[in-house]
Amino acid sequence: MDWFMLWLDGLTFAGFSIIHLFFVGSLVGKRPKYWHTVGYFFLLCILQAFCVTFQIEGILSIMIELFLLYGVSCFWLGNRGAVCGISSILAIYVCQLSFGMINSLEILLIPPDFRGWKLYCVLSLATVTAFGLCFGFCRLVLKYLSFKEETPHLRLLLLSGLFFFSAELYIVQTAYPYISGDGGIGEQFLLFLLQAMGLAAFICTLYAYQRVLYGLKAQAALDSLTQEVKAQKRYVGEAQKRYDKTMAFRHDIKNHFSVLHGLLTANRVEEAKDYLKKMETAEAELSFPCQTKNPVVDILLGEKLELAKAWGIGWETFVLLPQNSGIDDFDWCVIFANGLDNAIEASKKVNGERWIKMKGERQGDFYRLEFKNSCVPGPMPPMGTGLSNIKSVAEKYHGAILTEKEEHVFCLNVLLKGESL
């Protein structure tokens, strides 16, 4: 029996090593290496030998195991502090409850006179079942929770995890005699129900947390869309004002020429030069720094150009938008505003040369817009609200987007198919 229990303990520690590292790695999108699992297995064995030698059990042994997993997650997997804490707590919590439930069922269902190979088979089956339960609950938690992207309100989740983990520690401490088999059938059944309810409540909490995050993202997207609508109305208003001033300037052009002719005829050359400078200033105020044949987009590009200049970002553009393409001005604004905002934000982080290049051209039945900008080296950033909005517009016009990233260059291509392209 001693040799069998030693083998069973080894199997249990091996299972814990796999499940713990699988869980904390999957939460952040990292795959633990083989030596991580083997090293963690030996550390668990050493921890168990230490606890047996010094008769450490209950809450203290669980806390030592928690700090061990936290250290492995932090130093071996490279996770950050808050994520290490939450993932370690959840991994230990799920495994403790799963094994606690199976232990209670063992005591409830296995007769006291069970001996020999039958008992070995049942205990082996119970251990495998407990690991299956652990793995199933871990996959269920991963369905509702992921740290692959920046996750807001981690402190709220950490507090919830600590609450459930503390409740489990309390159960372990106060009900330890029952776990050891000294309690009656009623106590064992109550303990099983408590742990099952703890797991169910925890899953419900994760589901509620996910819905809260979904609501926050939806609200952020709605706020972004509201801002874009307001901005587009402002761009349209500015474009209309420019158009009215241009028409008024053109209407008065004959009068301006008459004044210049009169001044030159009277040989008042200096006054004619001053008057011509005033005309040039008025004309410059009516012109756009970027001309795309779409006044609304021209206003937007002028505003973004000023913002880029303020951050020392160079600017090159060659964009002539197709006329009567059936693409709404609002959708053009969504593409240019979000594309340039992302480009400016990425370029601001560069210590060296900062630049943005923009190009538009026809490609068969499509119109292609290309945004290129300087950026810092690193992995491809996740798709945020801005790119999601651009993608929605592209799909609306039977197109698509493509993002590429080299070492210091980020490129966004947008394909659109309008009515007359």
Name the burial class of residue 411, with classes exposed (0-12), middle (13-18) and buried (19+) by CB atoms within 10 angstroms of its CB.
middle
Range with top average pLDDT, 172-186, 318-332, 349-363: 349-363
**Predicted local confidence at residue 353, as pLDDT:** 92
pLDDT digits (tens, 9 = 90+) for 73-122: 888 888 877 788 888 888 888 888 888 888 878 777 777 777 777 788 88
The pLDDT assigned to 106 comes to 79
| Contact between 360 and 367 (Cβ < 8 Å) | yes
Cα–Cα distance for residue pair 142/232, rounded to 1 Å = 40
Residue 326: pLDDT band by 50, 70, 90 thresholds? confident
The rounded percent of the chain whose pLDDT value lies above 70 is 86
CA distance 386 to 255: 48
Tell me what the mean pLDDT of segment 109-136 comes to: 83
- Which of 258 and 126 is assigned the larger pLDDT? 126
Closest CA to 114 of 194, 181, 23, 17: 181
| 335, pLDDT greater than 80 | yes
Using one digit for the tens of pLDDT, what is the confidence trace for 48-81?
Answer: 888 888 888 778 888 888 899 999 988 888 887 7
Question: For position 371, what pLDDT does the model report?
Answer: 96
Q: Which pLDDT band, with edges at 50, 70 and 90, does 184 fall under?
A: low
Tell whether the model's pLDDT for residue 176 goes beyond 70.
Answer: no
Cα 174 vs. chain centroid, distance in angstroms?
41
Q: pLDDT value at position 349?
A: 92
pLDDT bin (cut points 50, 70, 90) of residue 2 is low
**pLDDT band at residue 346 using 50, 70 and 90 as cut-offs:** very high
Q: Look at residue 103 in the predicted model and tell me its pLDDT.
A: 80
Identify the band that residue 403 occupies on the pLDDT scale cut at 50, 70 and 90: very high
Mean pLDDT is lowest, of 225-239, 249-263, 291-305, for 249-263
- What confidence score (pLDDT) does residue 250 get? 61
- Overall fold of domain 290-421: Heat Shock Protein 90 (3.30.565)
287 band by pLDDT with thresholds 50, 70 and 90: low
Which of 28-37, 108-117, 306-315 is predicted most confidently?
Answer: 306-315
- Lowest-confidence range among 113-122, 249-258, 397-406? 249-258
- Determine the pLDDT at residue 168: 74
Q: What percent of the chain has pLDDT over 90?
A: 18
Q: How confident is the model at residue 420 (pLDDT cuts 50, 70, 90)?
A: low
Q: Which residues, at least 6 apart from 249, have a Cβ–Cβ distance to it below 8 Å?
A: 282, 283, 286
Q: What's at 142, amino acid-wise?
A: L
The more confidently predicted of residues 250 and 101 is 101
Residue with tokens 């402002």, as numbered in its chain: 234
Mean pLDDT of the chain: 82
Q: Cβ contacts of residue 320 below 8 Å, gap of 6+?
A: 292, 293, 360
**Of 247 and 94, which is predicted with more confidence?**
94
Per-residue pLDDT at 285: 56
What is the 8-class DSSP label of residue 113? T
Are the C-beta atoms of 360 and 370 separated by less than 8 Å?
yes
Q: Where does the pLDDT of residue 289 fall: very low under 50, low under 70, confident under 90, or very high at 90 and above?
A: low
- Kindly indicate the confidence band of residue 399, based on its pLDDT and cuts at 50, 70 and 90: very high
**In what helix (H) or strand (E) does residue 174 lie, and over which residues does it extend?**
helix 154-174
CA separation for the pair 20, 89 (Å, rounded): 10
What are the φ/ψ torsions at residue 369 (nearest 5 degrees)? -110, 135
